[in-house]
């Protein structure tokens, strides 16, 4: 039986009220599901985005607008990687809406997997940022 997951382009980033996170909303569907289901992926600003941004850029540089684009590109990549990890961990196997919390606190054991995907794609992310803003 085909269990291939189809993932839509996300909407976001959204700034969550009362939480230091950005969130992205995806629609996922498998061939056996009648309708798509929603997945909200939360990216912690201090616990994920800033840590990986420092590893990516060493030191912040550029104008505030350029830094905003760097944050948007990287937070989107983090959300995509987290969705990939959630699929590998079996969190998206059931027909239900899912919320993927930041990989801090109770889900901190998944952060090394996120860091590994980051290290694998770091050069591609740098190239995308360089192409978009010249940094």
**What pLDDT sits at residue 135?**
63
CB 52 within 8 A of CB 76: no
**What pLDDT sits at residue 72?**
93
| Span 19-78, pLDDT tens digits | 999 999 999 998 888 889 999 999 999 999 999 999 988 766 778 888 889 999 999 999
**What pLDDT sits at residue 60?**
67
CB 70 within 8 A of CB 55: no
pTM recorded for the entire structure: 0.92
């Amino acid at each position: 039986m085909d269990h291939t997951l189809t993932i839509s382009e996300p909407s976001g980033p959204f700034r969550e009220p009362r939480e230091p996170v950005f969130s992205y909303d995806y629609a996922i569907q498998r061939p056996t599901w009648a309708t798509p289901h929603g997945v909200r992926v939360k990216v912690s600003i201090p616990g994920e985005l800033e840590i990986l941004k420092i590893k990516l850029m060493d030191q912040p540089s550029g104008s505030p607008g350029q830094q905003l684009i760097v944050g948007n590109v990287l937070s989107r990549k983090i959300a995509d990687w987290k969705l990939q990890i959630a699929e590998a961990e079996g969190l998206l196997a059931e027909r239900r809406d899912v919320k993927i919390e930041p990989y801090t606190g109770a889900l901190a054991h998944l952060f090394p997997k996120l860091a590994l995907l980051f290290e694998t794609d770091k050069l591609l992310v740098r190239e995308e940022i360089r192409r978009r803003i010249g940094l």
